[in-house]
Every structure is written in structure tokens, then in C-alpha cells.
Chains A and B, each alone.
Chain A
Amino acid sequence: EVQLLESGGNLVQPGGSLRLSCAASGFTFSSFAMSWVRQAPGEGLEWVSVISSSGGGTYYADSVKGRFTISRDNSKNTLYLQMNSLRAEDAAVYFCAKDQSNRFFDYWGQGTLVTVSS
């Protein structure tokens, strides 16, 4: 059974940093691209970033480019999102999702909440 478990969400001040993690199990993690998708309170879904299976390719939404960094450790079956220079508009539930070759997301985690406030 595929499982994705996010962690690391917290309350952080504007301008601060946070690192999210997503522990994967139930599939060959190193064979699949992975994405982060976020959802602000009461709002819709927004794709944030994707990383290739090897980690050699990373891509970002314009709204986070230059501030967020996606990475992965295939030896630990874990996906990461380093978030710097956080803004109020980054407040959201962050989901990790198994990415099927840029076509669709077939499995999602339950999400971790990031709150940005002073």
C-alpha cells in the first residue's frame, strides 16, 4: 500500500524558513518523480514544485522560484521542501504527491499545515 506522510509544518514568522519532509513507502521511491502541491485555507490547489526520480531535475512555480528548494534522499525514501523567505501568502496545507511522468498525481499524502504570521 502506497503511503506518503508529510511532516514539518509549523507556525513561522514572515521572512523565516521551514523544511518539510515526506516519508514514502509502498512503492519504489527512486523510480518516480515527486511533487509538492499546496492549498491555502479555503482556496484551491496550487502546484509548487517537482523533482525527477534521480533528483537531477527540479522545477518550480513562479510564485516560489528562488525561495523554495525541492530535494530528495532516495536512500531514505524521503522528499523535502526547503522554504525560505516565507510570506503570508505561503500559508497553506502542503501535500506531497507521487507524480506520474508529469501526467498526473496518483497518490497524495494527508498534508502538513504551514502558518506564516508574526
Chain B
Amino acid sequence: QSALTQPRSVSGSPGQSVSISCTGTSSNVGGYNYVSWYQQHPGKAPKLMIYDVNKRPSGVPDRFSGSKSGNTASLTISGLQAEDEAGYYCCSYAGSSTKLFGGGTKLTVL
């Protein structure tokens, strides 16, 4: 299966909001409410930021939110902070116990 489609990069100034899209098909993103988002700083392990489309784990700021419409999921970060600069990856259940990641998006805080 091909990776989910994410923009290669997005940017925003401190305090602004940015959204990152994640487009799949009805066999993955559109077929299940099991989309998750991960933040990865260089040289570090990924960190869970959103699960089940729009749920936040304990400890993740409420500036991070998720949504889904059809075959496209989105991660929105409001009130951008310098520490939000990182790579972001979406992931979706794709049936038969398999999962599919997006290609990743580099967020730059200007």
C-alpha cells in the first residue's frame, strides 16, 4: 500500500495556527476512526499527540486537535510555540491488522 499523503512542509509564526492534512482512501483513513498523529523531534522517538481521530493523550496540550472528513484527516496546532517545530506523522489502521503512515510533514515555526 502507498503511504498516506501529507504536505512535505508547513510553517507559521508564533501564536498562529497551522493545519496538516493526511489523505488516504476508503480502505484506511476513510474506513476507520483510527487515525493517530505523532510528533518527532530530530534524533528522538515519535510521541503520540492525537489518537482515534480527535482524542488527546494525557499531557498533550489542548492546542493540538484532530479531525477527519471523508478520506482526509487533519491535525491543527493553535497558538504555535517554538517547541512545536518538529516532524509530524499521521497513521491510520488499514485493515487486516496493518497500519499505514503518512510521509511526514516538517513544521517550521518562523
Contacts and interface: CB of A to CB of B under 8 A. Distances in A.
Interface stretch (A10-18, A23-31, A82-90, A106-114): A106-114
B98 interface: yes
B9 to A, nearest CB: 13
* Interface of A: prevailing SS: strand
B38 A45 contact: yes
Interface in A36-70: 37, 44-47, 50, 57, 59, 61-62
B36 A104 contact: yes
B51 A103 contact: yes
Contacts of A106: 48, 51, 57
Interface residues of A, number: 23
B103 A102 contact: no
B98 A61 contact: yes
B34 A103 contact: yes
B100 interface: yes
Interface of B: 1, 3, 34, 36, 38, 40, 44-48, 51-52, 57, 89, 91, 93, 96-104
Interface of A: 35, 37, 44-47, 50, 57, 59, 61-62, 95, 100, 102-111
